[in-house]
């Protein structure tokens, strides 16, 4: 029972940190949300938490930060990141990084297509994809950094808990 309480405390701490991070003012597309979606399958087997916790944070924070035309596609990409990560049978650091890379690739293709469809059709689609590269490189960097931090904190937490449990 103590283990479950500790897990719940860490989940609430993660949620609070993610919500705060949305308001900190990171550069555009530098966010821990996609990293959270990539990491959650490594933390829990609950598919609902994996897919809907990151989207839930967006649903709560987006009205305060501003709504945008690509919201459905962004939310779909966040869910897709969780699904991609959950497809790996061996949850290790290498697979988490690989799922992050794949998720950012999916993001780049789908979100920028949605941006083009929603109003930048005066430009060729290739120009939209090229213009998005700096933003998506920031998303890639943040996904790799934050998912690595989540993975590291999880490892420390599990090691800490196993030492407490053995006493």
Which H or E element spans position 57? helix 47-65
Q: What are the sequence ranges of the domains in the chain?
A: 32-166
**Alpha helices by DSSP H, the chain:** 2-24, 33-43, 47-65, 71-86, 93-117, 125-166
Distance from CA of residue 14 to its chain's centroid?
A: 12
Q: What is the pLDDT of residues 129-154, one digit of tens each?
A: 999 999 999 999 999 999 999 888 87
d(CA 69, CA 59) in angstroms, rounded, equals: 14
What end-to-end distance do the CA atoms of the chain give, in Å?
16
Q: What is the pLDDT of residues 80-104, one digit of tens each?
A: 999 999 998 888 999 999 999 999 9
| pTM: predicted TM-score of the whole model, two decimal places | 0.85
Q: What is the pLDDT of residues 14-47, one digit of tens each?
A: 777 788 888 887 888 898 999 999 998 888 888 8
d(CA 88, CA 71) in angstroms, rounded, equals: 27
Q: What is the pLDDT of residues 104-131, one digit of tens each?
A: 999 999 999 999 998 767 789 999 999 9
């Amino acid at each position: 029972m103590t283990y479950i309480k500790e897990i719940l405390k860490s989940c609430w701490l993660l949620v609070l940190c993610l919500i705060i991070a949305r308001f900190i003012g990171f550069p555009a597309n530098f966010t821990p949300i996609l990293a959270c979606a990539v990491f959650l399958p490594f933390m829990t087997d609950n598919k609902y938490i994996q897919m809907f916790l990151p989207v839930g944070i967006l649903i709560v924070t987006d009205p305060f930060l501003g709504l945008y035309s690509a919201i459905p596609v962004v939310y779909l990409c966040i869910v897709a990141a969780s699904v991609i990560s959950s497809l790996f049978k061996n949850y290790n650091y290498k697979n988490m990084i690989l799922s992050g890379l794949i998720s950012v690739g999916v993001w780049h293709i789908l979100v920028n297509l949605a941006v083009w469809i929603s109003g930048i059709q005066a430009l060729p689609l290739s120009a939209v994809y090229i213009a998005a590269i700096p933003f998506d490189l920031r998303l890639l960097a943040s996904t790799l950094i934050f998912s690595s931090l989540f993975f590291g904190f999880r490892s420390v937490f599990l090691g800490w808990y196993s030492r407490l449990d053995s006493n």
